[in-house]
Amino acid sequence: MSQSLLRELDLASREVNATINSMFTHELEPKAIYDASKHLIHAGGKRLRPFLTLKACEIVGGRRGDALPVAASIELVHNFTIIHDDIMDEDERRRGVPTVHVLWGVPMAIAAGDMLFAKAYEAALRSAGSVSPERLLEIIATITNATISVCEGQASDMLFEERRDVSEEEYLDMVYKKTSAMLEAAAKVGALIGGGSPIQVRKLGDLGRYAGLAYQMIDDILGLTADEKILGKPVGSDIREGKSTILIIHALAHADEDQRRQILSVLGNKEAKADQIGEVTQTIQSLGSIDYAANKAEVFIDKAKAQLSSFPSSSSKDTLIDLCNYIVSRNY
Amino acid sequence: MSQSLLRELDLASREVNATINSMFTHELEPKAIYDASKHLIHAGGKRLRPFLTLKACEIVGGRRGDALPVAASIELVHNFTIIHDDIMDEDERRRGVPTVHVLWGVPMAIAAGDMLFAKAYEAALRSAGSVSPERLLEIIATITNATISVCEGQASDMLFEERRDVSEEEYLDMVYKKTSAMLEAAAKVGALIGGGSPIQVRKLGDLGRYAGLAYQMIDDILGLTADEKILGKPVGSDIREGKSTILIIHALAHADEDQRRQILSVLGNKEAKADQIGEVTQTIQSLGSIDYAANKAEVFIDKAKAQLSSFPSSSSKDTLIDLCNYIVSRNY
């Protein structure tokens, strides 16, 4: 990551954290649900979604400060979804720390996620002073529709775990709903609060959408190839959970019978050992599936960047291009 | 229940169901999450909350049809909370049918609840044509704040299960958040959409709040004394789950040592047999705790009805008084 992007992300992260913290005052009761709600927020995360909101606001000429409440809203929705996803997927680690349900139990984790979802609307409503009521309703509708997509995507993701014949098209539709729709919304609400035109809102939304698809392709790769400490969760989780990632879909489509049998013997096997995962990773690599996913990521990110062509040169534009480049160059 | 109130509730129920059904078209995918989301809605329920919304709209002179989307929104939030509550409380039956997590599993039930919460905002946003943007934002804020209260109340409810020293004051605060706040919001959003003045909105909200407190007092009684078939869930669930209901709080405060030991031996004992529950119920009855709760319900419902004193006579006013009377006379 370039030093300037790192600095920008760090600054945005501090601003968004401060906005979120201002909504979680010390007196709030009962303490357990608020502690559980804030746990993953405090554990870190790159804040890519709210960063996209701030940058989309700036590139259409809006004031960055005006976008902070909706940027916080987007981050709160994201944290709500990951608390619940971790329960559903039985993931025990995230951002390098135990997940919420591991520390507080499933019931409190469900309630903590629900709380963050409601707080996300509270955050968005704090924009009332800096945007027209009509625009604010459009922002709320955008966040709502994206969340409905996330729920549909998460449901598809779970249903796909039971299947071994998920097509690439079905997979990309699921990724759009589960991951991309919220990045699309993040960019759109930033553009909306910044006073962007309908075309600007659409283009920036499309940037977020394509960037989200690229992001997931790289995530699928990193889930198999990254350093576990930096990944913050076990390598190979996707395979153990039986997820048909782009790698698995491509590999199964190109595998011979032996390779297919080997992959299927590990896919969805929650007890699979690290060396079994390693062997399957080698097979996936030898079938060209990692290159295929990396290439798809490049194609998507080029489409994302192309959305910026009609925007005049600006430091915000440069930063958004840097952000796109970073998304496909992440390699931990 | 009076015949006229029954007819009114039935009509409102059909209207609200039609509004909700129009938001869940057949094409929506994946089918499993939508089926899970709609399961308890289709299983019935009295639709008291959306009914309160419609009546609050009418009593301030608004058009009933304008209130249907927000009435649907309130019912969707309520159904989201009960899907998640049933998971948290491990309740297996509700409205006479198996709960969502029993039929679809915990992960899909979590996602289905999340979906309904998002759909609740979608429903509220459908009012855009019949109310000013400013009012609609006020409605959305009202629903959001009530949902935050519900999350806090549910968390307190769970935390109280671990305690045997919950005070009546703490209990009533929990009931306000978990149950009353949503009835308060139901009435407020109806009054808001109907064009009510700030004082009317507050009075109708207070009616909902007091009615909610009365409702829970009666629910606590019925949970021990009702016919299981009509209750739709096992008699004595509250005791098995260790809930400090108003009955338990009163009984423990007035029990002698033997009675206290008897109550505590069954409270929170998930394996407690029906005859053990029956014995404890007799003790609770003999300590006057059921009369105490019934009396508290009467006091609350009188406060609810008193909120209507400044409204001129109308059929809506009569219906709201009927509704209040019904809430404390439910005996299955």
DSSP string, A147-207: HHHHHHHHHHHHHHTT-S---HHHHHHHHIIIIIHHHHHHHHHHHHHTT--HHHHHHHHHH
Compute the nearest-CA separation of B34 from chain A (Å).
9
List CB contacts (< 8 A) between B30 and chain A.
Answer: 152, 155-156, 159
Compute the nearest-CA separation of A273 from chain B (Å).
25
> What amino acid occupies position A315?
S
CA–CA dist A313, B292 (Å, integer) = 73
pLDDT at B332: 52
Cβ contacts below 8 Å, chain A against chain B, sum to 133
Interface test with B, best of A28, A78, A110 (most B CBs within 10 A): A110
Q: Does A299 touch chain B (CB under 8 A)?
A: no
Candidate from A115, A128, A152 with C-beta closest to B30: A152
Distance from CA of residue A41 to its chain's centroid? 14
Candidate from B113, B144, B155 with C-beta closest to A122: B144
pLDDT at A332: 52
List CB contacts (< 8 A) between B140 and chain A.
Answer: 121, 125, 140
CA–CA dist A150, A183 (Å, integer) = 11
Q: Does B33 touch chain A (CB under 8 A)?
A: yes
Interface test with A, best of B33, B148, B151 (most A CBs within 10 A): B151
pLDDT at A230: 75
pLDDT at B227: 82
Compute the nearest-CA separation of B258 from chain A (Å).
33
Compute the nearest-CA separation of B143 from chain A (Å).
9
pLDDT at B2: 87
Q: Does A259 touch chain B (CB under 8 A)?
A: no
Q: Does A97 touch chain B (CB under 8 A)?
A: no
Candidate from B30, B87, B156 with C-beta closest to A30: B156
Q: Does A128 touch chain B (CB under 8 A)?
A: yes
Q: Does B163 touch chain A (CB under 8 A)?
A: no
Candidate from B113, B125, B159 with C-beta closest to A144: B125
Among B83, B163, B87, B70, which Cα is nearest to B123's?
Answer: B70
Compute the nearest-CA separation of B142 from chain A (Å).
10
Pairing, β A97-98 against β A93-94:
antiparallel
Candidate from A32, A133, A148 with C-beta closest to B118: A148
Residues of chain A with pLDDT under 50: none
List CB contacts (< 8 A) between A106 and chain B.
Answer: 87-88, 106
Query: pLDDT tens, A211-257?
Result: 999 999 999 999 998 887 777 778 888 999 999 999 999 999 999 99
Candidate from B81, B115, B158 with C-beta closest to A151: B115
- Please state the φ and ψ torsions of residue A97, each to the nearest 5 degrees: -130, 165
Domain that holds residue A218: 3-329
Candidate from B117, B137, B152 with C-beta closest to A117: B117
**pLDDT in single tens digits along all 332 residues of chain B:** 889 999 999 999 999 999 999 999 888 999 999 999 999 999 988 899 999 999 999 999 999 999 999 999 999 999 999 999 999 999 999 998 999 999 999 999 999 999 999 999 999 999 999 999 999 999 999 999 999 999 999 999 999 999 999 999 999 999 999 999 999 999 999 999 999 999 999 999 999 999 999 999 999 999 998 887 777 778 888 999 999 999 999 999 999 999 999 999 999 999 999 999 999 999 999 999 999 999 999 999 999 999 999 999 999 999 999 999 999 998 75
Interface test with B, best of A151, A154, A182 (most B CBs within 10 A): A151
Q: Does A145 touch chain B (CB under 8 A)?
A: yes
ipTM of this model? Answer: 0.95
DSSP state of B180: I
Q: Does B139 touch chain A (CB under 8 A)?
A: no
> Per the structure, how many domains does chain B have?
1
Q: What is the CATH number of the domain that holds A34?
A: 1.10.600.10
Q: Does B115 touch chain A (CB under 8 A)?
A: yes
Q: Does B178 touch chain A (CB under 8 A)?
A: no
List CB contacts (< 8 A) between A154 and chain B.
Answer: 111
Contact A119, A37 (CB under 8 A): yes
pLDDT at B25: 87
Residues A156, A162, A165: CA angle, nearest 5 degrees: 85
Q: Identify the bridge partners of residue A98 per DSSP, sorted by sequence position.
A: A93
Please give the model's pTM, rounded to 2 decimal places.
0.96
Q: Identify the bridge partners of residue A93 per DSSP, sorted by sequence position.
A: A98
